[in-house]
A = this chain, B = another copy of it.
Amino acid sequence: MGEVGNAGLLVRKVASVAHLSAEERAALERLPMSIRSIPARQDIVRVGDRPSQCCLVLAGFAFRYKLIGEGRRQILNFHVPGDIPDLQSLHLPVIDHNLAALTPLTAGFIRHDAVHEVSARFPRITGALWRNTLVDAAILRERVVSIGQRDGLSRTAHFLCEMAKRLVAVDLAPGLVLPMPITQVEIADALGLSPVHVNRMVRELRERRLIALDGQRLEILDWDALARLGDFDATFLHLQADERPRLP
């Protein structure tokens, strides 16, 4: 239940995709943001809500999902620090899916009207935020391709490559060792596979010496082979130059 807080990450993320001016960055920094800690697995926003704020992930992972009849769940995306998972609520008032903390989460909440106001004064901030939602959509497109066309092994490899790139982009991956606090059940729900099958696919990737994965930590042992297997091409992440430091 925090106070106006550190918007550094917001600036870093938003600014990096649009090369904003110092004045624009300052305006972002000044956005009032209330910081809250949220326990793992707790919902933040639910289907049908009409939130008046949006949520910046500061530390920990979040995820978005939809439930359908008979206890099935589709995870739409995972979110890492720097993401604003529900930015779309700025212009789609009724939320059509759930947002929850995956790990214990530190999140900053920013009121819509504050965003609208900054956005009105600085059109390039509007563009940067808009772009953010467009990248989210691009990730979804690639997810559709994965689930629709790739087999289990390739799909799993692709997913790990995607998470790796995204974590590297926010400097959370020292070398090719990544925090990956995602259970196999959650990976399964994200990839449209059964947990049992995900387990087998992970085992296969391990046996091929492509990865080491233990539920908290993913180490990529052979990036090239993993990317080839997953048919991974990072174009869809639309990373800017300053967002792709490492990784081939």
Contact = CB atoms under 8 A, between A and B. Distances in A.
Contact of A134 (B92, B131, B147): B92
A99 to B, nearest CB: 12
A26 interface: no
A interface, by DSSP: helix, strand, loop or mixed? helix
How many copies of this chain does one complex carry? 2
Tier of interface size on chain A: 35 or more
B147 A147 contact: yes
A148 B192 CA distance: 4
11 contacts: A68-B149, A72-B149, A74-B144, A96-B138, A126-B126, A126-B130, A133-B137, A140-B140, A140-B141, A143-B144, A148-B189
Interface stretch (A2-10, A38-46, A202-210, A231-239): A231-239
A88 B134 contact: yes
A169 to B, nearest CB: 16
Interface of A: 47, 66, 68-69, 72-74, 76, 88, 90-92, 94, 96-97, 119-120, 123, 126-127, 130-131, 133-138, 140-145, 147-150, 189, 191-192, 231, 235-236, 238
